[in-house]
Amino acid sequence: RPPLAALVDFPTIYRRFAAKTELLVHTVAAVFEPPERGGLKWRSLEQMVTDWAEFLSRPNIGRVLRRLYSSAEEYPELLEVYWHRHGRHHWAAGQSTLKQARDQGHLAEDAEIDVIQEILFGTVLYQLVAGHQAPDARQIDTSLNAVLRQVGYQTGARRAP
């Protein structure tokens, strides 16, 4: 498929990429361009969830992530490229946003940010991989907000100190 999409032949592709793995790594890197300078920053957990839902519901993103995670055993370097190009930036921004929500009293003072983030990540993977069709933004948003409610997230009013 890549030669068709690029309108080039296989010899041209393999002159540029010595092996299939190199081609796949390049493809993953191209889909997940690094974030703009200054990184990701969300004003609130609600904005983060909305952005995640919109981003993850894009057809190419969901398809690439499903293929990426299903090929992790055969091509572990693909996950490494994804992590360095995209994942670590989102992870750090998610950590910052969750800590901000905790500091603002929307999460319990003793909320385990790492655990909450792992639960959110697991929810995303489930939405992308387990369904028979790609989820839409509303489905992802609903699932992530349900998880946040379960871990004690409160919108609006702050928790009493």
pLDDT in tens, 62-104: 788 888 888 888 888 888 877 887 788 889 999 999 999 999 9
Give residues with Cβ within 8 angstroms of 93, minimum separation 6.
39, 40, 41, 42, 48
User: Residue 157 pLDDT more than 70?
Assistant: no
13 or 43, greater pLDDT: 43
Residue 42 structure tokens: 């969300």
121 or 23, greater pLDDT: 121
Q: What letters, b where the CB count within 10 A reaches 16 and e where it falls short, cover 76-104?
A: eebbebbeebbeebbeebbebbbebbbee
Q: Provide the pLDDT for residue 36.
A: 54
Nearest to 25 by CA among 84, 95, 103, 109: 84
**Three-state SS at 24:** helix
Q: Provide the pLDDT for residue 109.
A: 94
